[in-house]
Structure formats: structure tokens, C-alpha cells
Structure 1
Amino acid sequence: MEQVRTVLKWAGSKIRIMDILKQHLPAGRRLVEPFAGSCAVMMNTDYEEYLIADINPDLINLYQNIKLNPERFIAYARKFFELCNSAEDFYIVRADFNLSSASEERAVMFLYLNRHCFNGLCRYNRSGGFNSPYGKYKAPYFPEKEIRAFAEKAKRATFICCSFDEALAMVLPGDVIYCDPPYLPASSTANFTGYAAACFGKLEHEQLSANLLVLAERSYPVIASNADTREARGLYGKFKIASFDAPRSVGAAAGSIKTAPEIIAKITPKNPQYLPLVCEEETEGTD
């Protein structure tokens, strides 16, 4: 089945494994995602509502601006894509982006940088400045169709910039929780900690798995993705684990696609926390 494409290019996007992932996402009223990423999961599922959170303010700002006024966003963003596609243009926009504090301007420049930088990598330095390099693409794609599709789906969504533990504290009866954190490194040279200028290390992974286990004990369905490593399997030892090979295309060679082992860890309670129904007896005789 062809998947709905996303506005952003994104390392670790779930777009290529949605057919597998959807087999592990149970029914519920609202999907809660503390790690928004490209919103591939939101775009390719059909929950009544979505709570989409991320610690990266630029990501959430982009989504909020698209939801607010998609046509205005498209018109503004198109002007940036009409610039000459050169390294000089890219680094000028990158420098302006790192100095800007205007919400709408940062949103359109973030999209431009994402579509023009190397492999769509979202990387920041320790000072919080976006520092992904120029990608040297002949014709970067302007995702007008994807922006409109996102804006339509976003009518069901709330976007919040916060940490994963703050997002998990917002769950309500009827929610399904899916977490796609920065993966545990498969090797000592594979670690990537530049996302949102914050490190997501072993301590954060331990806290996340512990928080999910607490929610599962309270009868919430919880699902998490990660690399298939001994450490990840240890963290999710009390979860049911499914393993598979996921395609990867972040290599230096253009168009190169390899596979890497991943896991989906889940606990789906027999009696999940659904919204309580109002009994007919309770409504009789009320005004």
C-alpha cells in the first residue's frame, strides 16, 4: 500500500515501515506521540485525535504554522525554493535562520533548510544553531501537495513543544502511546546526539522505558521503536518484542538503501484505558 508522504525529509522516518508498524498500533481515540519527527505515523493512521509533541521547537513551530494558515505558508515558502539552488544561497538562509526569532519566517526557512541540506538531517551545534551542511541536490522538491495534506490532517491534532516525560504526563483514557525516540546506537561510531542541541542518551532511554511501563501498568497501550540491540532488548525486557529489518537511506551514496535490524516493543492491556461511557440511567431525568 502506498503511504502518504510527509512535508519533511527525515532521518529515521517511519514512512517505509508503516505497513509493519500499523499491525502493532491498537485502536484508540487519540494517538500520543512524544517524538513527532516527520509525522509519518500521524499521516498514515486514522485516529480521531492526535497529540503530537517534540522537544525541537523548530519542528513544532513548522507544524503549527502550517496548521494555522497552509495557503499563506505555501506562498511564503515557495519564494525560498525559487532562490538559486547554490551553496551560497543555502548558507545565507542558514545564517539568517539562526538569527531569526520570527515564528513564520523560521518555519519557512526550516522547511527550505530541510529540503536543501544533506539527507534532510536535522542537526544543531551546542549553541543551538542549525548546522547541517548543504546537500548539493539538483532540484530540491517543494512539498506543496504534502503541506496541504498535512494541514487537513492537522485539524485533528494538537502540537506541543515539550519533553517526552511532559507529553506522557498528558495522556488520557482512550489514548494509545507510540514512542519513536532517537535510537540507541548500534555501534560506538553510530551515535547521533545533535538533534535539538540536546543529548538523548542511556539515562533518557531508561527513563522512557520506565515511564512506558508505568503507563502500561495503568492499562494504557504503549508501543516503542528502537534499534535491535542487546541494550534495547534489555530496556524493554517486560514488553512483547517484534523484530524486523528496516530500510535505511542515510548513507553518503545518493539513493543508497540498506537495511538495519529494529524492534517494536509493546504492551497492549486486555482492558485498555478507554473513555468511560455515560450510562443511560445516569442521563434520565437530567436537564
Structure 2
Amino acid sequence: MKPSRKPRAFLKWAGGKASISEKICRRLPKGRLLVEPFVGAGSIFLRSNYDAYILNDINPDLINLFKCVANDVETYIQDTKTFFNGEYNNKETYYQIREEFNQTTDPYHRSVLFLYLNRFCYNGLCRYNSKGIFNVPFGRYKKPYFPEIELRYFAKKASKATFTCLDFEEVFRTLPDDAIVYCDPPYAPISPTASFTSYAKDGFSAEQQEKLAHLSAMAALQKRIPVMISNHDTPFTREIYEQARLVFLKAARNISQKKDKRKKTKELLAIFTPESQAK
């Protein structure tokens, strides 16, 4: 990767932090180890500078993909690049490959197909039904981008990372004493009629949002571990983060394929520190 180019995630990801990653990283405390219970595409991992990382996500396909890329990126590039020659960019082939992905249990083969689906599906969504079946429709892009540069950069930096696939509560139970935590959970809905995003088959409920806020406050109070959480700025999130210091941001959300229909949404950073919990 050229020195002048900022590192980007190799996955498209709904709710990804690429556009505001620098603002977030500036507010992260200094330290040795960054723990991300909801790593997503990894924008904060790629833009931050720590000696070590614990990168976790409840989505097993995502963590499996990261491990495969970290293990042998050159072989992975060779095996995935063939899908980006134009032959596979049609609706019929996409649905055949999606079905193949949903049927196979081979970890490496799933990782290869996962990148294809991510780049060719509608808006880079990652969505599963209640049975764990990936069900995002075809995206109809003229020429999906193959992220070769981004894959190599990720693999190089992954030498600092440990990848885990655990529930966020388990991550908090096993936090090292010198950890700094950044959480990017599936966001709370902007309105009462909106639904929580289903990155994994079981989704993410309001109760889980509240549990995450409680665990963050306890980590800061009892273990003196600072925790930062990103979320929508809503009455609900302001209430559950009342024990944190709040920082407000605006971020572009790529909800629509058309750039002129993409709007900025109000977001917040809830920052739990030992000092804030001592009030």
C-alpha cells in the first residue's frame, strides 16, 4: 500500500467506520492492547496503532475469513481474484454461488465465497435469516472492486491480532487488565419502527444494548478499563449511556446505492472511564 493512502477495510460493511475512523481513533486512550468485541470490517483496527489486538465478532464467517487471510494472504488472493473477471457478475451465477456458500461447511471455501458475496451482493450487506442462511440479494454493480491491496495490508497488520468468535459478554468477562475497549455493536434503531440490524442470525436486541452499557460501566469502575461505544444518537442510547461522557458525531451512512440519497446520521461515542464512574 502506498504511504499516502489511508488503510481501508477489504470488506464493504453496513455501519462501517471508515468515514469517521480518524475521529474515533483520536479519542481512544493510549495503551498496549485494543479489544474490539464487535470488530466488523475492522476499520478501527486498521487505522489505530496498538502493539496488540483482540478482534472478536459473533459472526463465525467473518472471523473465519479474517483467519484465512491472515494465514496465507497470497493463496487467498489467488483463489478469490478469479471471481472478479466479469464472468461471475450476473444474477444467475450470484444466486448459485450464494446457494453453494449456504451448503458448504468447508471453512476455507466459505471464506473465499464470503468475499465474493460481500462484493457482489446488494450494498455489501451481511444478513442471515433465522436458520443462519445468508440471504442478501444480488447487487447489480457494473464492475465490483477486487481489494487486493487492502487484503495484503490487513494480513500484514493481522500479525498483531488474535481473532475470537465469542458473545460480547464473554469478551468482557475475559478482558485483560491492560485492555482498552472499543465497541461498535449493531446500532439501536433511529425510530421505534426500525429494526435492529441482523449481522448474525440472532440479531441484537434492546436488552443486549442495555447489557453492553452496563458491562462497559462495570469494566471502567471495577477493572479501571476504559470503554468506548459507538451508536446512534437517540433518546434510548442517551438514557442507557447516562454514566458515560458523550461525544456527538455525524457520519454518512451508505443505506442507498445512489450517492445523492445517502444522508448523514447523528451518532454518539459513549466513553466510560474510571474517572467518569467515580462521580
Match of 1:63 in 2: 66
Give SS of 2:274's match. coil
Match of 2:206 in 1: 202
Q: 1:124 to 1:147 in 2, by over 3 A?
A: same
Give SS of 1:11's match. coil
Give SS of 2:216's match. helix
Q: 2:55 aligns with which of 52, 57, 64?
A: 52
Match of 1:284 in 2: none
**How many residues align structurally?**
270
1:75 aligns with 2:84: no
Supply the AA of the counterpart residue of 1:71.
E
Task: State the alpha-carbon separation in 2 of the partners of residues 221 and 173 from structure 1.
Answer: 10
Give SS of 1:73's match. helix
Q: Deviations over 1:172-203 (max 9, x none)?
A: 12210010100110013432343211121111
Q: 1:20 aligns with which of 9, 20, 23?
A: 23
Match of 1:265 in 2: 270
Q: 1:167 aligns with which of 147, 171, 182?
A: 171
Match of 2:126 in 1: 122
Task: State the alpha-carbon separation in 2 of the partners of residues 254 and 266 from structure 1.
Answer: 31
1:154 aligns with 2:162: no
Task: State the alpha-carbon separation in 1 of the partners of residues 205 and 156 from structure 2.
Answer: 35
Task: State the alpha-carbon separation in 2 of the partners of residues 22 and 187 from structure 1.
Answer: 28
Q: Deviations over 1:138-160 (max 9, x none)?
A: 00000010000000010000111
1:92 aligns with 2:96: yes
1:104 aligns with 2:108: yes
1:42 aligns with 2:24: no
1:8 aligns with 2:33: no
Task: State the alpha-carbon separation in 2 of the partners of residues 49 and 35 from structure 1.
Answer: 16
Identity %: 41
Q: Find runs of 4+ consecutive structure 1 residues off by over 3 angstroms.
A: none
Larger Rg: 1
Q: Please say if residues 22 and 47 of structure 2, whose CA atoms lie closer than 8 Å, have aligned partners that are also in contact.
A: no
Task: State the alpha-carbon separation in 2 of the partners of residues 268 and 4 from structure 1.
Answer: 28
Q: Please say if residues 29 and 180 of structure 2, whose CA atoms lie closer than 8 Å, have aligned partners that are also in contact.
A: yes
Supply the AA of the counterpart residue of 2:268.
I
Task: State the alpha-carbon separation in 2 of the partners of residues 150 and 94 from structure 1.
Answer: 25
Task: State the alpha-carbon separation in 1 of the partners of residues 51 and 187 from structure 2.
Answer: 28
Q: Which moved more, 1:256-265 or 1:7-16?
A: 256-265
TM-aligned CA deviation for residue 108 of structure 1: 0.8
Match of 1:282 in 2: none
RMSD across aligned C-alpha pairs, in angstroms?
Answer: 1.4
Q: Please say if residues 3 and 18 of structure 1, whose CA atoms lie closer than 8 Å, have aligned partners that are also in contact.
A: no
Q: 1:255 to 1:157 in 2, by over 3 A?
A: farther
Task: State the alpha-carbon separation in 1 of the partners of residues 173 and 160 from structure 2.
Answer: 20
**Tell me, which stretches of 5 or more residues in structure 1 are unaligned?**
271-287
Task: State the alpha-carbon separation in 2 of the partners of residues 231 and 197 from structure 1.
Answer: 24
TM-score by length of 2: 0.93
Q: Please say if residues 125 and 131 of structure 1, whose CA atoms lie closer than 8 Å, have aligned partners that are also in contact.
A: yes
Q: Please say if residues 88 and 94 of structure 2, whose CA atoms lie closer than 8 Å, have aligned partners that are also in contact.
A: no
Q: Please say if residues 222 and 266 of structure 1, whose CA atoms lie closer than 8 Å, have aligned partners that are also in contact.
A: yes
Match of 2:136 in 1: 132
Q: Please say if residues 51 and 158 of structure 1, whose CA atoms lie closer than 8 Å, have aligned partners that are also in contact.
A: yes
Superposed counterparts of 1:209-228, under 5 Å: 209-217=213-221, 218-228=223-233
TM-score by length of 1: 0.91
Task: State the alpha-carbon separation in 2 of the partners of residues 11 and 204 from structure 1.
Answer: 19
Task: State the alpha-carbon separation in 1 of the partners of residues 76 and 145 from structure 2.
Answer: 16
Q: Please say if residues 7 and 146 of structure 1, whose CA atoms lie closer than 8 Å, have aligned partners that are also in contact.
A: yes
